[in-house]
Chain A
Amino acid sequence: MTVRTVLGALAVALLTTGAYIGLVASPPDAFQGEYVRIMYAHVPNSWIAYLSFGTVFVTSILYLWKRRAIYDQVAHSAAELGVLFTGLALATGMIWGKPVWGTWWTWDARLVTTSILFLIYVGYLLVRALAEDPQRGARAAAVIGIIGFLDVPLIHYSVVWFRTLHQPASIVRGDIKMAPPMLMALMTSLLAFTVLFIYLLTLRVHLQRLDAARSESLADEVG
Chain B
Amino acid sequence: MPALWIALAYGIVSMVLLLYTARLRRRVRELESAVRPRPRPLVQPAHPR
Interface residues of A (CB under 8 A from B): 19, 23, 33-35, 37-38, 41-42, 45, 84, 87-88, 91-92, 95-96, 98-99, 196, 200, 203-204, 206-207, 210-211, 213-214, 217
Determine whether B12 belongs to the interface, using a CB cutoff of 8 Å to chain A: yes
**Residues of B close to A42: CB separation below 8 A:** 9
The CA-CA distance from A34 to B1 in the complex, in Å, is 10
Name 28 interchain pairs, CB-CB below 8 A, sorted by A.
A23-B10, A34-B3, A34-B6, A35-B2, A38-B5, A38-B9, A41-B10, A41-B13, A84-B16, A88-B12, A88-B17, A92-B9, A92-B13, A95-B8, A95-B9, A96-B9, A99-B5, A196-B17, A200-B20, A200-B21, A200-B24, A203-B24, A204-B24, A206-B28, A207-B31, A210-B28, A210-B35, A213-B35
B21, closest chain A residue (CB): A200
Q: Is the interface of B mostly helix, strand, loop or mixed?
A: helix
* Beyond A84-B20, A95-B12, 12 additional pairs, beta carbon < 8 A: A23-B10, A35-B2, A37-B2, A38-B9, A84-B16, A88-B13, A88-B17, A92-B13, A95-B5, A96-B5, A99-B5, A200-B20
B8, closest chain A residue (CB): A95
Q: Count how many chain B residues have C-beta atoms less than 8 Å from C-beta atoms of the other chain.
A: 22
What 0/1 readout, one digit per residue, does chain B (19-44) give for beta carbons within 8 Å of chain A?
Answer: 01100110110011011000000000
Q: Assess A203 versus B13: contact at CB under 8 Å? Given A34-B6, A37-B6, A213-B35.
A: no
Are the CB atoms of B20 and A38 closer together than 8 Å? no
Most chain B CB neighbours (cut-off 10 Å) among A42, A210, A214: A210
Are the CB atoms of A88 and B28 closer together than 8 Å? no
**Residues of A close to B10: CB separation below 8 A:** 19, 23, 41
B3, closest chain A residue (CB): A34
Smallest beta-carbon distance A96→chain B, Å: 7
Q: Is the interface of A mostly helix, strand, loop or mixed?
A: helix
The 6 closest A-B pairs by CB, nearest first: A34-B2, A210-B31, A95-B9, A38-B9, A92-B9, A41-B9
**Residues of B close to A211: CB separation below 8 A:** 31
Are the CB atoms of B34 and A214 closer together than 8 Å? yes
Most chain A CB neighbours (cut-off 10 Å) among B6, B9, B10, B17: B9
State which of A38, A41, A99 has its C-beta within 8 Å of the C-beta of B1: A99
**Residues of A close to B2: CB separation below 8 A:** 33-35, 37, 99
A39, closest chain B residue (CB): B9
Are the CB atoms of A45 and B13 closer together than 8 Å? yes
